[in-house]
Each structure stands twice: as structure tokens, then as C-alpha cells.
Chain A
Amino acid sequence: MAEFPREPTQFGLPHSWAIVAPAEGQVLYRITVEEKPAVSDFLSNRAKHRPQMRGEPWVLYNGLSMFEDEGQAAELRDQLMPRQHVSPVPLPPRVGFSLARTRRRPGHYTVWGRPEDLLMSALQARGYPVDKEYR
């Protein structure tokens, strides 16, 4: 099983640091609006043209929040918008995905990748056919 990047505090670094690792087959969980994930589910706050908070690190503004455990994502989803869904997102190697353990909440990761590639991975994990338009 692929190892997850560790928290920076485990190396004596401040919490605000991020140790970015290339994906090696880890699986994380993403809250998606519909049961069938859409490319919009894999757009960062920056890509969605949401405003950057003053002082928010640019690198996190360009990433996506995902969770190590499906239950962690589901309990957050239940508090935010229960009609949303949780999708597994396999992060295979050699696709260009990166991940880092970020934020104070245990199990929270920030993921970077081409939105269409992340969508394809999530669709395949759920058994949906992958349209050639995503490739």
C-alpha cells in the first residue's frame, strides 16, 4: 500500500509547512456535489474564481481538500450539505498528481492535479465509463 506523506510537525517543522509527495497509488476521498463526479468537483478555489483569503498560501489556494478516510469525508459532508456525496479518488503514479498532509484536521490532504485527470480517476473508481473528452 502506498505511503501517505507525513505531517510537517513530525519532522519538527511548523504546522504551516507542507511536504508535497508525488502520488503513488494512494486513495483519498473527495466530497462531490452529485453521486457521479463532475469536473467542477475537481476545480480549486482559484479555478472556481473564489476569492483568495488574505494570507492564504497560494499553493493551498490552488489545491483540493481530500480525506484519508471515507468516514471523515462523510461526516464533514453531513454537516455541510447532506445531499452531497463522497467519491473515492485513486491517485495513480505517473499521472502528475501530488498530495500533501495539510490543515489541522487529522486526515486532511491537499491534492494537486489536472481536473480532468482527477475526474477520470474518480469516475473509473465508481465504475462509470470514461468519456474520451476527458482524455
Chain B
Amino acid sequence: MSYAILYAENGEFVADFDSHDEAIGALREYVAEHPSISEQVGLMEFDDAGHPSGEFVPASALTSEHEQYA
């Protein structure tokens, strides 16, 4: 399993991680510094074969759903 931060437009990757918590932390920090991109960038989970294993979650949704990471 891996976790990628990417832009929805063009599927442009920004960063990827082995850890879900690390990915969320990095994404939160990224959008905290640049709030204007919170609807454009988000988190995607991939299985070991590289297939998406969940829906794309925009940062704007993650930041409200993961307050425990604040």
C-alpha cells in the first residue's frame, strides 16, 4: 500500500509515502501553507500493484475529517 499526494488535473504527482499518517501530515502542511490549492490537490491510496484502492480525497475534505491530526 502507498499513498500519493497529487493534483486532480492531469493526475500530477507531488509526493508519495508508505505511511497514511505521514501522507496526511504532509498534505495538511502543504495546504496550510497554500490554502488556495485545497480543492485541487488531495490524497490517493494505491495497492501494491499500483491500482487505486480508494477514492481521491481532496485536501479540503481531509483537513476537516482528520482533526485528530491537528
Measured CB to CB, the residues of A under 8 A from B are 30-33, 41, 44-45, 50-51, 53-56, 60, 64-65, 72-73, 75-77, 79-81, 84, 102-108
Contact = CB atoms under 8 A, between A and B. Distances in A.
A53 B26 contact: yes
B8 A107 contact: no
Given A50-B37, A56-B15, A105-B46, A79 B7 contact: no
Interface string B49-69: 111100110000000000000
Interface of B: 2, 4-16, 18, 26, 29-30, 33-34, 37, 40, 44, 46, 49-52, 55-56
Contact of A79 (B9, B29, B37, B52): B52
Nearest to B49: A106
Contacts, number: 80
Given A64-B12, A65-B10, A75 B33 contact: no
B28 to A, nearest CB: 12
A6 to B, nearest CB: 16
A79 to B, nearest CB: 5
Contact of B11 (A44, A51, A55, A80): A80
Contact of A53 (B30, B49, B50, B55): B30
A134 B6 CA distance: 28
Given A72-B50, A105-B4, A105-B46, A45 B14 contact: yes
B8 A81 contact: yes
B50 A107 contact: yes
B50 A105 contact: yes
A65 B60 CA distance: 23
Contacts of B5: 53
B2 A105 contact: yes
A124 to B, nearest CB: 20
A79 B44 contact: yes
